[in-house]
Structure 1
Amino acid sequence: MPASHTKPLRIAVLADSDTRWKWGALTANRLTADPDAEPRESVSGAPVLDGFLLRGRATPTTRQLDEVGVRADSLREVTATEFLHTMTKEPYDLLVLALVGGGVQAVLHGLAHAWQGRTRRPVVVTGYVGVVYEKLADGLLLRHGADLVLANSRQDADRFRDVYEGVGADASSVTEVALPFLGGAPYEKKDPYTVVFAAQPSVPDNRRDRTYLLDRLIRHARRHPEREVLLKLRSQPGEHTTHIEELPYQKLARQPDLPANFRLVYGNMGEVLDRTDLLVTVSSTAALESLHRGVPTVVLTDLGVREALGNHHFVGSGCLASWDQLDAGHEPLPDPWWVARQGVAAGGPHSGGGSHAAAFDEARARIAGLLAAAELPPLRPYYTPVTAPGYLPGILARHHLAPDGSPLPGAPTADHAPGPVRRIVRRAARGAYRHGVQRVAPMIRRMGEL
């Protein structure tokens, strides 16, 4: 950050789930840190990072936040209109929007309205938590309007620019970086040899396929009693992440006589990778974390290579394989060119494949230039009531915003925070929603199949 900043930078991160909070907070740290220092050491002194959790179905629990392990100077839950009200009162330098696409678009329009007539405003940054394998155009256009739209790899940066230029939108905001949570010690073989299956909340999305994957994992444990076989879970029953999990593996794994070398584990993915010899997944971003460290990594083909599963993203990676091949001793060999295109250090972070810290240099320089500018232009998203009159109003209304980005009548603000009774009701409603998703909805579907 520029030396002209005599005060610590003030950063706000708005996130709507545990994984997006992790991405947003770590991205903020990377964007404001000395490349040669630890992520929280800033050139101009330690930045002040305030976290805001957007109230909704995936608002993380205390346990999930603890597991993420990212520190903030303050952290509180807000609605979109409460957050926008805060942004009119507090002098932040940098704002990171770590939200689903519709949330980003709503907040961008809300900020554009709230900051009308201002010559000074925060630099606004957004992006993606991991692999972008679905709804590319939809998600990108919903993020258009931020000062920087971060792409986690060279491949993503090229695709993002193609989409923006293809619709006539300004593509100058696209900035290549890398996933902020890549890192850790390079791979060394462990004893005992440990196989980790990285589960995903919504891939696959049906009982048959999830049961199949679990059974194959358990069968692998029985076939290789000398190995530790771990099922890495993202959340506990009743908790939600970015995606809804209707059929938690914990329930499917309630079986008698499980092998002694098979266990369910939680925790930070980086810490689990510290003891991993083989990472297996369908399409989780954990595969990129694993490849970055040089851990042998397999993306399963058992259920096909399909866009619905997201494993089509790994075509050409050298990592595609089946459980039959793994049972027979197959060892994957990643393609260095493919890995490098994903913003990952081919062969591990210390193999000469490039500096992960340097991946953020361009973004840091752009932010420094914007912070030093006399004034910043208004936010101008591609979607407006003129370009998307049948789409945009509904997105904004879900966050209690009118088509011009102003709060709808009755929308809560930071000056009218809910009382303790209302907060209790909200928590109860959220629990009821999660219960309905994970218990009632599957039961109704099963009854409908009778």
Structure 2
Amino acid sequence: MSATGVPTGRRVRAVVTGIGVVAPTGIGARRHWDAVLAGTSGLGRITRFDPSGYPVQVAGEVPGFEARDHIPGRLIPQTDRFTHLALAAAQEALDDARVDPGALPEYELGVVTASSSGGTEFGQHEMENLYRKGPSWVGAYQSIAWFYAATTGQVSIRHGMRGPCGVLCSEQAGGLDALGQARRLLSTGSQLVLAGGTDAPLCPYGLVAQLTAGGLSTISDPGAAYRPFDSAASGYVPGEGGAFLTVESADRRSAGHYGALLGYAAGFDPAPWAGRPPVLASVIRRALADAELEPGAVGVVFADAFGLPERDRDEARAITEVFGPGGVPVTAPKTLTGRLYAGGAALDAATALLALGSGVVPHTAGGLRPTADCGLDLVLDHPRRIRPRTALVLARGHGGFTSALVLGAGDRTIRSEQEPDERRGGHGSDR
């Protein structure tokens, strides 16, 4: 038995067989991919409440999402929006994989989600009832709807998945941590794991809770508010939504898949340890070692792209330390969605898998002008067709959580009319 709990020699090849997306770029993986390739932004002035009295005006909201269209009506008043979004994404991920959980052994099906601040909107409404009307107006579901693990429980209950289930609270890094845990569970006897994350921080309480961290952009122009690696970078834009992935063993799966989870690693940068080098470069190297790959095998890096100059410089240094200056194409499609907290890294992983299948590196939209010392080969202006075969996804969560996931291409993708013409996208060696 290894230190990770995986029996020696038992590690299985974990593949992604279904993708479910609920994001500011659209509901459904195809709509999201179309928007990414077209550079269609989902950022705009907040509409879920009046943001006039708040320093942050811009966010990424899921367009046209109505909970009643995706989940049973009885669940809506019992759960928060972050769970509504998750139930919709999880259903799509199962449908996309053509999986009927009821036809599989229930104790061999798992659910692993990422969570950040939990059900803030539900909690806010219940606190309003408490302070305005009294304790008798607080509903029984306040005890569970806000909870970090509420989504895991609801997805598990809805689909009869009674195997290993859990939640990882590492904010933006959580989506990668959930996928790393999904791979581990397949090596310990699970047949299938739904893994991913969603978040719904766009309510007054949720927004105020994020303001104290000091990373949010206060620029009111959606086109200028979130510019990672740019000389005018001033913070990030918050967003809601995320993605779920159906993860199965390649040995069990006979149909096609989007790609494989090849390597994973995590680390931590606690603030009191100032003066020590950031952990990201080490995490990247360990993820590559776990995948048994050299840096030259990586075809594209999906950056964390925090949006603050110091954090962007730290990430750029880590990438160039491992790959060399301009040594690998780097992209950050999250400029179209904002940072989705618990949902962000899972959405990046889904986007990376779609990119590998299509042979396209999506661009970082927004007309960025990288700083002179950036040192990265940022994919700008339009997608680049270089047919990458592996992708590295990076994520850093509030407080120091740091994760990296290496993905390998599969034999399935979602085609889009927005994919670049062979003559426009440029050429490069396959990686």
More strand by share: 2
Determine which structure has greater relative contact order: mean sequence separation of CA pairs < 8 Å that are 6+ residues apart, divided by chain length.
Answer: 2
Q: What TM-score results when the alignment is normalised by the length of structure 2? A: 0.25
Q: Calculate the TM-score normalised by the size of structure 1.
A: 0.24
Higher Rg? 1
